Amino acid sequence: MTGTARDSRDNRGEWQPRIITSPAIFDWPPRPLAALKWLFGYPGYLLPWIGFLMLIPLVTWFFLTPDLATMKTFEFDWIATVFFRNVGLLVLVAGGFHFRFYIQKAQGTRYKYNENWPGKHRRFLFGHQTRDNIFWSIVSGCTVWTAYEVVSYWLFANGHIGYLNWEQHPVYFVLLYLAINPLRTIHFYLTHRLLHWQPLYRAAHYLHHKNVNIGPWSGLSMHPVEHLIYFTGVLFHWVLLAHPLHAIFHLQHAGLMAPYGHTGFENLVIKGDRKLPGSSDYFHYLHHRYFECNYGAIDVPLDKWFGTFHDGSAKAHEAMQKIRQQVHG
C-alpha cells in the first residue's frame, strides 16, 4: 500500500501506519518512474503478495484440479475434491496467519492496528469471534466459492461458454490474467456499496461487520447471501472469452485475499527488524472502523473518485465523525 510513513499509535491505542495516498500510476501529471516503481518495486503492487497469489492458481490448475473432461456431468467425487481443496487453501492462508499472529502471538501487538485481542462475545455464534468466523468462512464461504467454481468447470467442459486456448491467444491470455486484480477491485467496490444498502445490510452484511477488531478468519466470514454476491465476479469469465485458469484465479483472489486483507497487522515480522510489508490492508481496516468509507481497495482508487475515501489522517477522522453524526444523528 502506498502512503506517507507515520508508524505511531493514537490516543485510543490504534496503530496508524501511514497517511494513505493513491498509487503513483493514477497521478496527474503522470510520473512514469514512480508508476513503474509502484508496479514492479518492492514493496509494490505485484510484490510480495499479488505476485505470490498469481502463482497459486497455476499450481491449483495443473496439480490439484480434476481433468476438465470428467466435469461434463456433476459427480460427487470431483465436486468433493474441489471443495476440500478450497477448504485446504483457506485453512493454509487464514489459518497460517491466525496461527502466527493470534496463537503464537509471535510479534505481540507490534504493528497490530487494534491493540486488543479478538475473543469471547455474545454477539458471535458460539460466543466466540474466531469460532464464529471459521464457521461462516468454511460452511458458507467455501461452499458458495466451490459452487461457482463447479458450475464454471461444467460450463467450460460442455462448451456452453467460450474456451480460450492460450497457445492461440497468448497475449490476450496473459493480459486477462493480469486484469483480474483490478477487475476484482471494481467488482468489490460496486457490490460492497450495494451491500451497504440498508435492506441488504440488515439482512446479510451486518454479520461481516460484527468484526470491528478484525482477524484473518474475519475476511470470509459472511452471511450466505453476501457470499452469493461476493463471488459473482467469476461471471466475467462466463461472458468474456476465458480459460478455466482465469475463473480459478478470480475465485481464489476473492477467497484468499479476504483473510490477507483482515489480518489486523500492518507487517509480518520475520526476525528482529526484518518484516514482510503490507501483510494486511489498513485501507480496509478503516472501513471496519468507520463503516461509511473505503468500500473498495486503493489499487483502483474508486473511493477517492466517488467521495468515500478515508486516508487515515486526523482530518479525515474528524470529517467522518461529522458525516456519521449527520447520518445517524
DSSP SS3 for 20:
strand
Residues 6+ apart with CB under 8 A from 64: 85
Q: Can you tell me which residue has the cell 460442455?
A: 158
Contact 24, 37 (CB under 8 A): yes
Give pLDDT tens digits for 20-70. 999 999 999 999 999 999 999 998 999 999 999 999 999 999 999 999 999
Q: How far apart are CA 307 and CA 322, in angstroms?
A: 15
The 3-state secondary structure of 119-146, one letter per residue = CECCCCHHHEHHHHHHHHHHHHHHHHHH
For every residue of 250-261, DSSP letters joined together read: HHHHHHHHHHHT
DSSP SS3 for 241:
coil
Q: How far apart are CA 272 and CA 291, in angstroms?
A: 35
Q: How far apart are CA 185 and CA 118, in angstroms?
A: 27
Please, which residues bridge with residue 276 across strands? 268
Query: Among 98, 244, 220, which Cα is nearest to 161's?
Result: 244
Give, rounded to a whole angstrom, the gap between the first and last alpha carbons of the chain.
Answer: 34
Q: Which amino acid is at 156?
A: F
Contact 240, 173 (CB under 8 A): no
Tell how strand 274-276 and strand 268-271 pair up. antiparallel
Output the pLDDT for position 35: 96
Helix 143-157 / helix 76-90 crossing angle, nearest 10 deg: 130
For every residue of 67-136, DSSP letters joined together read: -GGGGGS--HHHHHHHHHHHHHHHIIIIIHHHIIIIIS-TTTTTTBSBSS---B-TTSGGGBHHHHHHHI
Joined grid coordinates for residue 194: 450495494
Contact 5, 18 (CB under 8 A): yes
- Tens of pLDDT along the chain (329 residues) come to 565 555 577 766 777 777 899 999 999 999 999 999 999 999 899 999 999 999 999 999 999 999 999 999 999 999 999 999 999 999 999 999 999 999 999 999 999 999 999 999 999 999 999 999 999 999 999 999 999 999 999 999 999 999 999 999 999 999 999 999 999 999 999 999 999 999 999 999 999 999 999 999 999 999 999 999 999 999 999 999 999 999 999 999 999 999 999 999 999 998 888 888 765 688 999 999 888 899 999 999 999 999 999 998 888 888 777 777 776 66
Give pLDDT tens digits for 109-126. 999 999 999 999 999 999
Output the pLDDT for position 17: 78
**C-alpha dihedral, 263 to 269 to 274 to 278, nearest 10°:** 10
Kindly give the residue spans of alpha helices, DSSP state H, lying in 5-63.
32-40, 49-63
Radius of gyration of the chain (CA): 20
